[in-house]
Amino acid sequence: DAKTTQPPSMDCAEGRAANLPCNHSTISGNEYVYWYRQIHSQGPQYIIHGLKNNETNEMASLIITEDRKSSTLILPHATLRDTAVYYCIGVISGGGADGLTFGKGTHLIIQP
């Protein structure tokens, strides 16, 4: 699985878009990028995933660069409840033969 690099922390004002970057320069052609978040003391929550096309769902948008070496998770209108640690994870496609490998993630703090 590709090594991912994320900033340790970020601030964002409530109501603004939160843009969380992830670098995955060693990603291979069949590796997906998955995003999870963990709100304090809760279980992780799946957000979104993608391979090479941009993706959007009710929670967020995922923008993957054309060379696939980096991506950005966008929370369009951040609320205080979006304060959490966000994890970017690279995984090989073909099913979950292994578990998820969580790094240190980005601690996103939404400021009122």
Partner 1 sequence: NAGVMQNPRHLVRRRGQEARLRCSPMKGHSHVYWYRQLPEEGLKFMVYLQKENIIDESGMPKERFSAEFPKEGPSILRIQQVVRGDSAAYFCASSPPPGGYEQYFGPGTRLTVT
> Which residues are near partner 1 by CB under 8 A?
32, 34, 38, 41-46, 49, 89, 91, 95-105
In the complex, the smallest distance separating the C-beta of residue 91 from partner 1, rounded to whole angstroms, is 5
H/E run at residue 4: none
Nearer to partner 1, 34 or 62 (CB): 34
Nearer to partner 1, 49 or 52 (CB): 49
Cα–Cα separations (whole angstroms), residue 51 to 22, 82, 87 = 14, 24, 16
Nearer to partner 1, 43 or 112 (CB): 43
In the complex, the smallest distance separating the C-beta of residue 13 from partner 1, rounded to whole angstroms, is 27
Round to whole Å and give the CA distance between 98 and 60. 25
